[in-house]
Structure formats: C-alpha cells, structure tokens
Structure 1
Amino acid sequence: MQSILDPAILFFAFGIFAGMIKSNLDIPPQLSRFLSLYLLMALGLKGGFALAHSGLTPQIVSSLGCAILLAVLVPALGYQLLKRFINHYDAAAIAATYGSVSAVTFITAVQYLENHHLTYGGHMAAAMALMESPAIIMAVIFANTLRKKSASGSPHPTSLSKVLHESLTDGAQLLLLGSMVVGIISGESGKAAMQPFSGDLFKGMLAFFLLDMGLMAARKLPEIKGQSPWIIVYAVVTPLCHAALALGLACLLKLPAGDASLLMVLAASASYIAVPAVLRYTIPEANPSLYLGMSLGITFPLNIFLGIPLYIAIAHQVIGVGS
C-alpha cells in the first residue's frame, strides 16, 4: 500500500484515469522526450558515481553477465511459446518487446529502493543498457528466417548489421552510457556538483513523466480488444515467469538482494519505446498495436502498481535484506 501512495505512482494512476475518461489533458511530445532523456541522464550519472566509488568487482561482472544471459533467454523462450498460438511474425515482435527492457520501469524501481533505503549497485544501469539490443537482433534473425521460408513477394530480409548499428548508437542508450562515463570520471566531486540536477529534481521529473505514461497506457489498452485471450495471459503471466528466472540466476550467482531485485524488474519489463520503434520497419509484417498495446497497456501498469514492490519484496525475502 505504501508504494501505491508514492506521489509518482499516484500521478501514474491519475494519468490512467484522465486517459480513460478521454480528457484532453496531454503532455507535448517534445516535453515527454525531454523528460525521458533527463531521467536516463540522471540515472546514468548515479550509476557512474556508484561505479567510481566501488570499482569493477567480480560481483559486478557477474551481474552484467546475468543481464546479458537474460536478454538472450527471454526472447528465445518467448518466441518458441508464442509461435504456437499466433502469427509467427507477431510472435517474433512480441518476443523482442518482452525480451528487451523498460527504462521507466527500471527507474521507478530504483526510486522505490531509494525511498525504502535499500541498497543496490549503480552498475545495474549498465545492465539495463546491455539488455536493450539482444532481443531486437534475435527478432530480426527470426523474421529473416521466416521470410526465407515464405513465398516470393515478401519483404527483403533486414540487414542485421544495420539493425546492430542502430541499436548500439541509439541516442537514448548512448546518453545513458555516456552519463555513466561522466559519473565515473568525475567521481565524488561530480556527484556533489550535480546533486541539484540528478538528485533533487529526480523525483518530481519522474512523477511528471509517469503522468504522461499513464495517459499513454490508458489510450493503448483498447488496441488489444478482440485479440486472442492467450495474448492477455502472456502479458500478465510471463513477466512473473521472467522475474522468477532472473531470481533463480541471481541466487545461483549469489548476487545481492538489491541487484537481484533490479534484475527481476528488468526481466519482467517490456519495451514500449525503443523496440517498437525499430520493429515497425524491421518486421513490418507484425501488428504494432498488438505488441505495443500489450507492453504499454497491460504489462507496464501491472509492473508499476504491483510488480515492482512484489519483485523487491521477494528478492529480499529469498536472498536477505543485508546481502
């Protein structure tokens, strides 16, 4: 209940309400873009400052390796399951959407941990960046394989090198990684200098952005009406399964509870910005309203309201608060 009463979460709920009653409340796209870039820059700085303090340890390497493994396993398993029930191109696109990550879900989880004075590794921002691209690359491989098997007249296979280049040079991802480098180089003095920007403003900016996300979520939910009920089940159940997989790997590698929590959040999240934007031209055969409606209309709200506190509580219960 305490997490739901957080102002940022309440603004998200208010955005959903405003969208459902078809209010003309709207956040200009340019402002929404600025807010997302601000959050990524502030998160990158926080991660960089933390890495400057801790250095690169075997535990950090284990966390990053676990993140990459999840980024490969989740879309691979998702595609094998989904293609049994729906169009194979849609299956590839949905698998990529759920195999990638939601930066805003991650940022909200970080804020939750800080509000409850629970420790986590700043390097987990790098883990988020590493988990962004593998799912897109795998989806392109799936789609290209399907095109080779299909009849003539289908779109030409997408260049994997082009997708890889665009994934690695995406502006938002570069900003996150660049901010981390700045934080590592500037260290404690940089942290003190940037505190008013990356610390004091963060909570209010997150609340404003979640208001916009609530509006978007309410408007995307109707797009999945009339779809297979298996789609709804997938959007609700598989995030829990992905989080459980992440927890199992975290326990196996003996990661701290805070890092395990964020791995669970990342595994359970689904992209609704970067990946759908790429999928529109890499897999035009797939239905955008399907994978975007699922990730933004169902999974994102569930994670914000219920998933984040659940994953964090389970991780700290299983692994231990003091770990």
Structure 2
Amino acid sequence: MSDFLELFIKQIQSPTLGFLIGGIVVASFGSQLAIPDAIYKFITFFLLLKIGLSAGIAIRNSNLSEILLPALAAVLIGILIVLIAQYTLGKMPGIKFTDAIATGGLFGAVSGSTLAAVLPQLESAGIKYEAWSAALYPFMDIPALVTAIVVASVYTGRKSADTSEKVEIWPIIKDSLQSSAVTAMLLGVGLGILTRPERVYEGFFDPLFRGFLSILMIIMGMEAAQRMNELRKVAQWFAIYAFISPLLHGFIAFGVGLIIHKITGFSIGGAVVLAVIAASSSDISGPPTLRAGIPTANPSAYIGASTAIGTPVAIAIGIPLFIGLAQYMLAQ
C-alpha cells in the first residue's frame, strides 16, 4: 500500500497529468488563454507520426519469425481490452459510451515507463526473457487505439443515423481508418518499417515529443474543465475500473503467454512482459491519439483513470505479482 501511495503521488506530479491539471486550473479561473487551431493540428500530427515511427522501428528491429505468435496474441489482447471496457465500464449507469471506450483504448495501449520498469526487475530476479519481447508493445498499443476509435465511430454513426434505416458499418470503419489520427500513426509505422528514419527520429521527433505533448495536455485540460460536471456523479466507476482492470488484463495476458510457452517455448519471463504491457495504460501514445480520434470523449475521465490510478496499480502491484507467479512456476 505504501508503494502504491508513493507511485500515486509521483503520477499526480508527472508531466502528463500535471500539465492536464494546469489546463484545468487556468480554464476554471476564466483565463482567455487559447491555442490557435493550426498549431494544435500540427502538434497532433507530429505526435502521432512520432508514435508510429517508434512502433515501426521497433517492429523492424525484432525477429518476426520468433515474434509472430506472441505478436498476434498482443494484437488480440489489445482489441479484447477495449471490448471489455465496452461491456463493463460502458454499461455502468451515467457513463458516457465514448468516455468508456476512450478509457478502454488508453488501458489497451501500452505505457513505455511501465515496460521499462519490469525489465530490470526481471533481470534482478534472475528470470530470463526474450530480448525482443519489449517490441511486443506496438502490436498491442496500436490495435487497441484503432479499435477504440472504430468502436466509438460506429456507436456515434448509429446514434446519428435514422433508426428506421439500416446502418452501414463498413463505411464508418473505413472513415475511422482514414481519419487524420489513424492515418498519421499508420504512416509513421510504415515509414519506420520500410525506411531507416533513425537519424531524423533521434534528432527531431524524439527531443521535441514531450514538449509538444505537454502543450497538448494543457489544451486537453482546458477542454476537460468545461466538462467536469459530467464526471461528478460517475467518477467512482472510473476509479473502480482503473484499479481492477490492470490486474484483470495482466492475468489474461499472462495466461495467454503460458499457452504460447507450451506451444513454442516462449519464456516465462516473456509471459511476464506480455502481462505487464497488458496491465499498463498509456500516458504517451494514447492521449493525443484518442483526443484526435474520439474528440467527444472527456480527457479528464480517461487520462485521470489511467495516470492517477491505473499506472500505480500496474507498477506497484502488477509487476511484483506477475514476477512472483513466474518465480513460483519456475520453482516447480
């Protein structure tokens, strides 16, 4: 509990949540601060292109023959996490469907900091894992975010359509995949796989990413301030979901990892990595993608649930839990 509280305080002070809260505060005091729309669009494109580039580079540098089955599992788990949110959080009284789906998308996406935290702990515990297992993150991250955007778009399309007419699902899915958010991200993935953009990535995209993300968080915070009333009666559902879901997602992924272990010899340590990326929730790739892809969702709902509660649960409880399970299985 003390570890959880320490991480909770650190997450409250993290740049992602800190700048979001800053935007909420200035908007609440009636500030006239405004970010020009053209600047917002450029920042969003930059962030999503960088996210795609990092994913594409990671995929290109991995051993695709060994990674194939774990990668497929990561894709399916990322999609499943969004669907779990749809049929759990999305069914809670008073919860807006788009808020639930955006939250599911953020929890299906992957936290780089949580992934970075588990690897040295596996090494300290003497548990072997595949060197390429960290490259599983884009296979879970991107499908979860795209699924969230598509599900939200289908729901919005059905709500806006005349109920007497048959709703065509494929055009809605096609529009979602062709949206600026998904297109920018997939463009980055393609360039990362097919070209060698490391020099421009390391010299331009990577150094500027966190600065631009901070500006976007201020914009999202200002928007969230205008919609705080939406959360006052339903915040407890987001808190409950954010505490339980990381462990649920991690157990699902750990179980799938063990099945792959039996089939292909995938290591127990690799199963832990898969579990931890499933338990994590994104504070980097998710917010800009969901802001662009599901603009009707309330940022204070999905970012607050993920950053304030989900990440501390994944790091303070999830990592020791799954490493402990791995040690128990290896001792048998």
| TM-score after normalising by structure 2 | 0.70
State the 1:42 CA deviation: 0.9
**Residues 102 and 23 of structure 1, relative CA distance in 2, 3 Å threshold:** farther
Identify the match of residue 245 of structure 1 among 236, 248, 261.
248
- Deviation string for 1:37-73 (max 9, x for gaps)? 2111111111111111113203222212211222333
Match of 1:200 in 2: 207
Asked if 1:125 corresponds to 2:138, the answer is yes
Residue 127 of structure 1 aligns with an amino acid whose one-letter code is M
Corresponding residue number in structure 2 for 1:301: 304
Task: Call closer, same or farther: CA 1:155–1:235 in 2, change over 3 Å.
Answer: farther
Q: For 1:166-205, what aligned pairs fall within 5 Å after superposition? A: 166-187=175-196, 190-205=197-212
Change (3 A) 1:224 1:133: same
Does 2:78 correspond to 1:74?
no
Q: 1:109-124 to 2 correspondence within 5 Å?
A: 109-110=111-112, 121-124=134-137
Does the aligned pair in 2 maintain the 1:66–1:250 contact within 8 Å? yes
Of all paired residues, the percent bearing the same amino acid is 18
Q: 2:174 aligns with which of 149, 165, 169?
A: 165
Deviation at 1:100, TM superposition (A): 3.6
Deviation at 1:74, TM superposition (A): 2.7
Does the 8 Å CA contact 1:95/1:139 hold for their aligned counterparts?
Answer: no
- The answer for unaligned runs of 5 or more in structure 1 is 278-287
Deviation at 1:307, TM superposition (A): 2.8
Considering only aligned residues, what root-mean-square deviation do their CA atoms show, in Å? 3.9
User: CA–CA distance in 2 between the matches of 1:246 and 1:318?
Assistant: 13
Which amino acid counterpart does residue 210 of structure 1 have in structure 2? M
Tell me, in whole angstroms, the C-alpha distance in 2 between the residues paired with 1:6 and 1:93.
25
Alignment partner for residue 19 of structure 1, among 12, 21, 27? 27
User: What is the 5 A alignment of 1:74-93?
Assistant: 74-79=85-90, 81-82=91-92, 85=93, 93=98
Output aligned runs, 1:216-255, within 5 Å.
216-224=223-231, 229=233, 231-254=234-257, 255=270
Alpha-carbon offset, residue 122 of structure 1: 4.1
Q: Is the 8 A contact 1:40 1:176 kept in 2?
A: yes
CA deviation after TM superposition for structure 1 residue 266, in Å: 4.5
Total equivalences in the alignment = 289
Which ranges of structure 2 fall in alignment gaps of 5 or more residues?
Answer: 1-8, 121-130, 258-269, 328-332
CA contact (8 A) 1:96 1:275 kept: no
